[in-house]
Amino acid sequence: MRISSAQYFQTGLNAINAQQADLLHIFKQIGTGQRMVTPSDDPLAAAESINVGQSHAMNKRFAENREVAERKLSTEENTLNGVTTLLQDVKTQLVEAGNGTMADADRLTLANVLEHARDNLLNLANATDGNGQYLFSGSKGDSMPFDADTGAYEGDDKQRNIQLDQTRQMASSDVGSDIFARATPGVTRFLTAAGDTFGNNTNQGTGVISKPSVFDAAEMDPDYRYEIKFTGADEFEVTVRDQNDNEIATETQSFTPGEDNLIKLPHGVQVQVSGRPEAGDTFSIRSTKDAGDDLNIFKTLDTIIGSLKSEQDFDGVAKADFRNVLSSAVQRLDINYDNVLTVRASVGARLNEIEALDDNGDMRTLGYRQQLSDLEDLDYYEATTQLELRKTALEAASLAFRKIQGTSMFNLANR
């Protein structure tokens, strides 16, 4: 076979170019520290690297979400801590108001103190997260959750959830109505008030109703409400109704005026009534399940503040009315206080869960980085060895080309 001079030159040039390309590829690997300069270097590893990289990026995004959730929940925890302290002070002041030694002027002063406490509590309920978003307005982050005048809740009941992990979403705050206007879920208590089950109070006697209790939990039914109506000074009727005000039962009991009368109501509930009620006076008892907006903490404070401002020094009926309002307020504030503590415990549990998720996320981050390192990082020992080998190969190709270039027909003839 005859080999032309052009073929000699082309073959030598191709050999040199190939060695230079291999050498340049190793230079790029060493310069970048990456084993795969292009996906064609290892297609399978390149595809796996993309998948691992996506998982790593998603894990990083989840970590950022957890940071946001932790910041919001920490702000809520601090706010609820302030609410707890404030409610403790209010409860203490209401206990003082019930000791019977205060005059109208003293009660008026206490009413002013409670007005300031109400304003402070409203400010806490309308707190923001530092970014202008209200904490307790549900999904309406740009709307104030509680009306400044009435204290009515104006947010919604939708949680603002944040994705903390692939399979875990968490509420970054709590709905205001679940903090300031309800009882703890799963806990049933009964509340008393002067007046009928519709909230109408026209009592003219000095009867006072105490906090109710359950003496037979097996018989207790939270769907029932009770109305005690006095038909005379020494007799009353107990009417049991369901939440739709359908009458379930009615019974008549006797009453001893001027003494503390323990009244056992149907279905395991009992309550104490004292004083001297008049015919037509009524008292109502209902469960927290049936309380509705009666558990709105601002409504409770407004009611007791209004009662503290009323004149009662020389009016026995007014004093009895105040004692009933005070008893009802204390009962409701106790329920609000316990519920706030429950929400605080929930916030603490969520913060602990975030910490655990962070630990797991950090472990996954280490795993993803190790996988990416195994797939992408360059082995410098091997690369430097290959570099020397390619340099030697390039020199050999260049030397071979020079040898071929130096041959001529006369040199071949002399051999």
What CATH number is given to the structural domain containing 359?
1.20.1330.10
Are 270 and 411 found together in one domain? Answer: no
Between the CA of residue 192 and those of 11, 95, 170, 200, 345, what are the distances in Å? 105, 17, 37, 13, 28
For residue 123, pLDDT beyond 60: yes
Are 177 and 267 found together in one domain? Answer: no
> Average pLDDT, stretch 81-102?
90
CA dist., res. 144 & res. 322, Å (int): 32
Q: What is the predicted pLDDT for the residue at 98?
A: 82
Chain center to CA of 326:
32
Please report where in the chains the tokens 């009770």 appear, as a residue: 226
pTM: 0.81
Pick the residue with more confidence: 167 or 393?
Answer: 167
Query: Residues 189-226, buried b or exposed e (16+ Cβ, 10 A)?
Result: bbbbbbbbbeeebebebbbbbbebebeeeeebbbebbb
For 204, the token pair is 């003219």
Are 302 and 171 found together in one domain? Answer: yes
CA dist., res. 406 & res. 262, Å (int): 126
Query: Among residues 345, 357, 344, 343, which one has the least CA distance to residue 66?
Result: 357
Helix/strand number for the chain, H first, E second: 8, 11
Are 227 and 327 found together in one domain? Answer: no
Please report where in the chains the tokens 């005379």 appear, as a residue: 232
For residue 285, pLDDT beyond 90: yes
For 10, the token pair is 């082309």
CA dist., res. 383 & res. 378, Å (int): 7
Are 55 and 196 found together in one domain? Answer: no
> Average pLDDT, stretch 86-112?
90
Are 101 and 124 found together in one domain? Answer: yes
Residue at 160: amino acid letter: R
Alpha helices (H) along 165-315: 177-180, 297-308
CA dist., res. 218 & res. 234, Å (int): 30
Are 263 and 195 found together in one domain? Answer: yes
Instruction: For the chain, state the CA radius of gyration.
Output: 41
Q: Where are the beta strands (DSSP E) in 22-167?
A: 161-165
Q: Is 186 left (phi over 0), alpha (psi -120 to 50) or beta?
A: left
Neighbours of 258 (CB within 10 A): 10
195 SS3 class: coil
Are 60 and 169 found together in one domain? Answer: yes
Query: Among residues 99, 169, 39, which one has the least CA distance to residue 326?
Result: 99
Q: Which burial class, exposed, middle or buried, applies to 162 when counting CB atoms under 10 A from its CB (0-12, 13-18, 19+)?
A: buried
Q: Which residues pair with 213 in a beta bridge?
A: 270
Q: What is the pLDDT of residues 223-274, one digit of tens each?
A: 999 999 999 999 999 999 988 889 999 999 999 999 999 999 999 999 999 9
Q: What is the predicted pLDDT for the residue at 47?
A: 73
Q: What is the pLDDT of residues 325-371, one digit of tens each?
A: 999 999 999 999 999 999 999 999 999 999 999 999 888 888 887 77
For residue 322, pLDDT beyond 60: yes
Look at the chain and report how many structural domains it folds into. Answer: 3
For residue 17, pLDDT beyond 70: no
Domain final residue pick, 248, 268, 287? 287
Tell me the residue range of the domain where 197 lies: 189-287
pLDDT band at 76 (very low <50, low <70, confident <90, very high): very high
Please report where in the chains the tokens 């009515």 appear, as a residue: 152
Are 202 and 330 found together in one domain? Answer: no
For residue 116, pLDDT beyond 50: yes
Are 231 and 205 found together in one domain? Answer: yes
For residue 3, pLDDT beyond 60: no
For residue 410, pLDDT beyond 50: no
Q: Where are the beta strands (DSSP E) in 201-246?
A: 208-209, 213-214, 225-232, 235-241
Are 256 and 360 found together in one domain? Answer: no
Are 43 and 126 found together in one domain? Answer: yes
Q: What is the predicted pLDDT for the residue at 366?
A: 87
